[in-house]
């Protein structure tokens, strides 16, 4: 039997996702003892006002006792090009990579703000 899985993603979008993830960098700013703020720099996207980071990630740690750690993560993309619905897969891939790099495998509630590409997700171990 042949492989019945069909990948419907455009090849140009695949390459773009790979290039953006490969070139993604971060700058960390501490907000408080239980929260962090990271600026997200992407090769092809910037903040239209400052020309700087394409977005930011805020990670808020809710600490319950000493055994349970639950994390709320908010990603805000400031570049309006990333609000375009044709780039939903790119925004999703970027957000997934950001969570993997900054939060790891912890239980996480994710909120992504990117215009029409905004969504919420839950990462569970």
Residues 6 or more apart in contact with residue 34 via CB below 8 angstroms: 60, 61, 62, 63
Range of the domain at 61: 11-123
pLDDT along the chain (125 residues), means of 10: 66 93 93 88 95 95 65 95 95 95 86 96 86
Give a yes or no: residue 28 inside a domain.
yes
Give a yes or no: residue 1 inside a domain.
no
Q: What pTM was estimated for this model as a whole? A: 0.87
What are the tens digits of pLDDT across the range 81-115? Answer: 999 999 999 999 999 999 999 988 778 899 999 99
Pairing of strands 25-32, 68-77: unpaired
How confident is the model at residue 29, as a pLDDT?
84
Q: What's the angle, vertex CA 117, arms to CA 58 and CA 83, rounded to 5?
A: 90
Give a yes or no: residue 2 inside a domain.
no
Give a yes or no: residue 86 inside a domain.
yes
Give a yes or no: residue 57 inside a domain.
yes
How confident is the model at residue 2, as a pLDDT?
64
Helix, strand or coil for residue 5? coil
Whose CA is closest to 109, among 117, 99, 94, 101? 99
Give a yes or no: residue 3 inside a domain.
no
Q: What DSSP assignment string belongs to 45-101?
A: ---TTTS--SEEEEEEEEEETTTEEEEEEEEEE--GGGGSGGGHHHHHHHHHHHHHH
Give a yes or no: residue 4 inside a domain.
no
Give a yes or no: residue 56 inside a domain.
yes
Domains held by the chain: number? 1
């Amino acid at each position: 039997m042949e492989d019945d899985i069909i990948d419907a993603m455009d090849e140009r979008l695949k390459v773009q996702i790979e290039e953006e993830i490969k070139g993604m960098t971060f700058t960390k700013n501490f907000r408080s003892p239980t929260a962090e703020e990271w600026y997200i720099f992407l090769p092809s996207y910037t903040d239209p006002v400052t020309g700087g980071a394409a977005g930011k990630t805020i990670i808020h740690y809710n600490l319950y006792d000493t055994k349970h750690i639950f994390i709320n993560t908010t990603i805000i993309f400031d570049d309006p090009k990333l609000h375009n619905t044709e780039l939903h897969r790119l925004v999703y891939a970027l957000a997934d990579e950001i969570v993997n790099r900054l939060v790891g495998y912890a239980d996480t509630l994710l909120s992504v703000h990117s215009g029409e590409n905004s969504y919420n997700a839950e990462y569970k171990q």
